[in-house]
Amino acid sequence: MEAEEVLDLQDVLRRLAFDAVCKVSLGYDPCCLDLSKPVPPLVKAFDTASEISAMRGMAPMIVVWKLKRALNIGSEKKLKEAIDLVHGCVLEIIRNKKKALEEAKAKSAAARGGEDLLSRLLSAGHDGDVVRDMVISFIMAGRDTTSSAMTWLFWLLSKHENAEKMLVKEVESMLGNGRNGLDFETLKEMNFVKACICESMRLYPPVAWDSKHALDDDVLPDGTFVGKGDRVTYFPYGMGRMEALWGKDWFEFEPDRWFQEPGAENGLLKPVSPFKFPVFQAGPRVCLGKEMAFIQMKYVVASILKKFEIRPVNREQPVFVPLLTGHMAGGLNVLVKRRELK
Ligand code: HEM
C-alpha cells in the first residue's frame, strides 16, 4: 500500500476474525479477507442469525417473537433459514473432514488429523449434532469479539498518541532484540499492548451485557434471592465505568492503570479479578478462548501499527451498539499511511 487509502477498519477486522476462527475451528479458510471474492453464504447466514438472535434478547415482549416462530413468519422465518444454511454448510465441512481423516488413516495407521478443533473432536470419537453445535458455538464466540475489541482500540489510540507511541516503541524494542519476529514467546511478553487492549475493553467490552436464567431457587453472595427461572444479567459495560471500581478517572483511556508500577519501563501487569473486570465472564463459564484472543489481538495490533499509521476520517465520538457483540455504528473509516521508519 503506497498511497494513503481509506478503508472501513471494522469491516476488515471482522473479515480477518472470521477467517481466523474458521481456520482454528474447522481447518477451513472462507477467505473473507479476499475482497475480490463474494462474501460466502455461510458468513451472511451467520450475520443474519446473530442479528436476529440479539434482537430476541432485547425484545420487550418475548411472546411476539415466539408467536412469529410458531407461525414461521417475518424475522423468525429468516432466522430459521439462516440456521438451516449454517447447519448445512458446517455438516458438509464435517463430512469432508471425516473423509479426509479416514483417507489419511488408510494411508498410515499412525496418521494424525489436522490441528483444528473439528479434527480433534472427530479423532476423539465425537460425532453428529454435538460436534456441529460445538464448532458453531466456537465460531460464534470467536468471530466478532476480537474484531470489536480491536476496532475500539484503534479508535482510542488515534485519540491518545502518547499511548500509541509507547505501544509502537514496545513492539520495535521487542523485535529489535534478536527475536524471531512476532512469535508466541514475544507476543506473551508484550505487556503494554495487553494493557491497551484491556483498557479499551474496559470502556468498550465486546460482550456489553450477558444474562443467565436460574435453574432453581438460589441466593447471590450478597444475600439477594433469585427465584427459579429468573433472569440475572451482569453488565461489563457499566462495571467498566464505575468510579467505585476504577477511580475518579474511570472515563480516561489510561493503560498505566493495568501495571503494578505505573510508568515503569517493561513493568509487570497487575492481577485484576475477573469479578471486577468480567469482559470474559468469570467463574466456571469463563471464556475458553481468552488466551487465544489476547495472542490474536496482540499479533494483529502489533503487525498493523509497526507498519502503518491509522487515522480515523471522522473525529467525532463513534456510537457503541451493544448487540450480541458490541460494535461501532457505521464502521470505522480510517486513512492508512505507511509509518515512517526511524
Ligand atoms: C476479546 C475477545 C473475547 C471476549 C471479550 C469474549 C468474551 C466471552 C464471554 C463474555 C463469554 C461468556 C458468555 C456466556 O456466559 O454466555 C465467552 C464464552 C466463550 N468464548 Fe469468548 N470472548 C472472546 C474471544 C473468544 C475467542 C477468540 C474464542 C475462540 C476462538 C472464544 C470462545 C469462547 C467459548 C467457546 C465460550 C463458551 C464457554 C462456555 O460456555 O463454557 N472467545 N467469551
Amino acid, res. 217: D
Does residue 198 have a known ligand-binding role?
no
Q: Which residue has the least CA distance to atom 9 on ligand 1?
A: 280
Query: What's the pLDDT at 28?
Result: 87
Gap from CA of 234 to ligand 1 centroid (Å): 15
Dist CA 238 CA 81 (whole Å): 35
> Residue 256's pLDDT is what?
96
**What is the predicted pLDDT for the residue at 50?**
87
CA-closest candidate to residue 285, choices 203, 218, 210: 210
pLDDT for 197 beyond 80: yes
Q: Of all atoms in ligand 1, which is nearest to the CA of residue 206?
A: 5
Write the pLDDT tens digit of every residue in 100-128.
Answer: 888 888 887 666 667 899 999 998 999 88
pLDDT mean over 170-184: 85
- pLDDT higher than threshold 60 for residue 91: yes
All residues at 6 or more sequence positions from 111 whose CB lies less than 8 Å from its CB, including other chains: 104, 105
In this predicted structure, what is the pLDDT of residue 286? 95
Mention every residue, 6+ apart, whose C-beta is less than 8 A from residue 281. Answer: 207, 210, 274, 287
Better-predicted residue by pLDDT, 311 or 50: 311
CA distance 74 to 76: 5
Q: Report pLDDT digits (tens) over 280-335.
A: 999 999 999 999 999 999 999 999 999 999 999 998 999 999 888 899 999 999 99
- What pLDDT was estimated at residue 323? 80
Give distance in angstroms: CA of 142 to centre of ligand 1.
7
Report yes or no: 298 and 194 within 8 Å, Cβ to Cβ: yes
> Among 26, 147, 202, 287, which residue has the most ligand 1 atoms within 8 Å of its CB, making it the best to mutate?
287
Average pLDDT over all residues of the chain:
91
pLDDT over 90 at 273, yes or no = yes
CA 218 → CA 234, 235, 274, 332, distances in Å?
16, 20, 22, 43
Q: Measured from the CA of 207, which atom of ligand 1 is nearest?
A: 10
Instruction: Summarize the confidence of residues 204-213 as an average pLDDT.
Output: 94
pLDDT number for residue 113: 66
Please tell me the distance between residue 336's alpha carbon and the centre of ligand 1 in angstroms.
30
Pocket test for ligand 1, best of 145, 199, 203 (most atoms within 8 A of CB): 145
Look up the CATH number of the domain holding residue 48: 1.10.630.10
Structural contact between residues 102 and 111, judged by C-beta atoms closer than 8 angstroms: no
Residue-wise pLDDT for 225-272, tens only, equals 999 999 999 999 999 999 999 999 999 999 999 999 987 777 899 999
- pLDDT score at 1: 53
pLDDT at 177 over 80: no
Distance 341 CA to ligand 1 centre (A): 37
Specify the number of domains making up the chain: 1
Please determine, for residue 342, whether its predicted confidence score (pLDDT) is greater than 80. Answer: no
Residue 250 domain boundaries? 5-338
ipTM score of the complex?
A: 0.98
Pocket of ligand 1 (CB under 6 A): 21, 24, 137-138, 141-142, 145-146, 149, 206-207, 210, 279-281, 285, 287-289, 292-293
Query: Cα–Cα distance between 45 and 129 in angstroms, integer?
Result: 18
Which pLDDT value is given to residue 293? Answer: 97
Residue 2 binned pLDDT confidence (cut-offs 50, 70, 90): low
Mean pLDDT of 44-66: 87
Q: Assign residue 235 a region (left: φ > 0; alpha: ψ between -120 and 50; beta: otherwise).
A: beta
Instruction: Judge whether residue 340 has pLDDT over 80.
Output: no
* Cα-to-centroid distance, 140 and ligand 1 (Å): 9
Q: How far is the CA of 20 from the centre of ligand 1 (A)?
A: 15
